[in-house]
Amino acid sequence: MPKYLDLFAGAGGLSEGFIQADYTPIAHVEMDKAACFTLKTRTAFHWLNANGMLSVYNRYLKGEITRDELYDAVPGEILNSVLNYEISEESLSEIFGKIDYLLNGDQLDLIVGGPPCQAYSLVGRARSESKMIGDSRNYLYKLYAEFLKKYKPGFFVFENVTGLLSAKDEDGSFHFQNMQRLFSEYGYSTEYKVLNASDYGVLQNRKRIILIGKFGIGEKDYYPVIPHVNYPNVKVAEVLEDLPSLYAGEGSYTPVKTRHYEGTYLYEMKIKDYDRQEVTFHIARPHTQQDLEIYKIVVSAWNKNKTRIEYQNLPDALRTHQNTTAFLDRFKVVAKELPYSQTVVAHVSRDGHYYIHPDIKQNRSLTPREVARLQTFPDNYYFESTKGIPGRTAAYKQIGNAVPVHLAYSVACALKGYFKEWRRNGCA
């Protein structure tokens, strides 16, 4: 099985897709402490599942044992593969040392990951007076390249927002071209495509750059064919309708049983394992009365006329924001009749206005579990906080920042055939 390193790992959406495709993670490097606990808990899940001890994990989800007790049931070297570091020039040496220990002399086949996207995103640049020019996050790719220089894997997969293609440096050059030039200096050819997650079974309109690097200068036309996964009769309702109904402020972090499900999509996407499976984090935000009134207007307009309500068209009494010229679709229903939803982003951690549930009776924004399903996270995926006390905000942030699992799985499957040749030819 190909061995890979996950950089800027977040909560592990990209990594989970590669694990589902039978790759072996050597290490995950992530600076956010809560996300690292999520990665550790998921690492514990995979080990317990492989060793016939899943009952321990289920006891943890039910609150019967603590996080420390869960981790005590797993070998320390398994959990120690999650490295809680900010990747910087100062930390590189220490990170390399820990990865070297985990590799134990073996060859690394692949590096995956993408630096935080805020400095490249169009929305981030629109909100920034400096247009994010000079932001230190623009240059994290240089640190990514240091891992390529040291470990020389056969391939790497670099994921980021499409805004990267137009993001400029202070001298007017394009970051993406500078990035490709640096990767070339370190011995890699690069090819990229803009992939939409909706073409790979994900019920979400989410376009991302997937750049694939191959060791060797002058390599061409190696970008794998990644077959589209289409479910023409499946709509967004598929990820919502077997979950228990909730009003704003209701729900549970601990497992609740889902309703009977007659479809196949959730099984084929590896979201659901069996009928009436229990899920965690199906807990809705409380909302102000004003927001609830807006939600009803937005959902009603969609359900009756299939129209979106822009902010300036709300009743005067409900418009309290001074900005009435930008981000006018800030209140938006996740339409169950459509084949995909709007893009899930980390802003969902701040409010749920852009992700309103389509059932006007429930009158609320989506729960973390509903958002996680739009990102194709398995229902048994648990999202941690720093203190071991579950929280919506940390979960929303991690989910919103993640790569959709099944998009990652599709890329991983398409790449997999290359690694037999890479190993057979003696690696680098």
Question: Which residue, chain included where needed, has tokens 């293609």?
Answer: 165
Can 117 be counted among the known catalytic residues?
A: yes
Q: What is the residue type of 232?
A: P
Among 36, 117, 413, 427, the active-site one is: 117
**Whats the size of the chain, residue-wise?**
428
The β-bridge relationship of strands 3-7 and 110-113 is: parallel
Q: How many CB atoms lie within 10 A of CB 71?
A: 17
Cα separation values, 308 from 205, 209, 295, Å = 17, 28, 12
The β-bridge relationship of strands 110-113 and 82-84 is: unpaired
**b/e 293-315 (16+ beta carbons within 10 angstroms → b):** bbbebbbeebbeeeeebebeebe
* Terminal-to-terminal C-alpha distance of the chain: 18
Question: What is the torsional sign of CA 26, 378, 365, 244?
Answer: negative
Phi/psi of residue 220, nearest 5 degrees? -140, 155
Contact 137, 31 (CB under 8 A): no
- Active-site residue numbers? 117
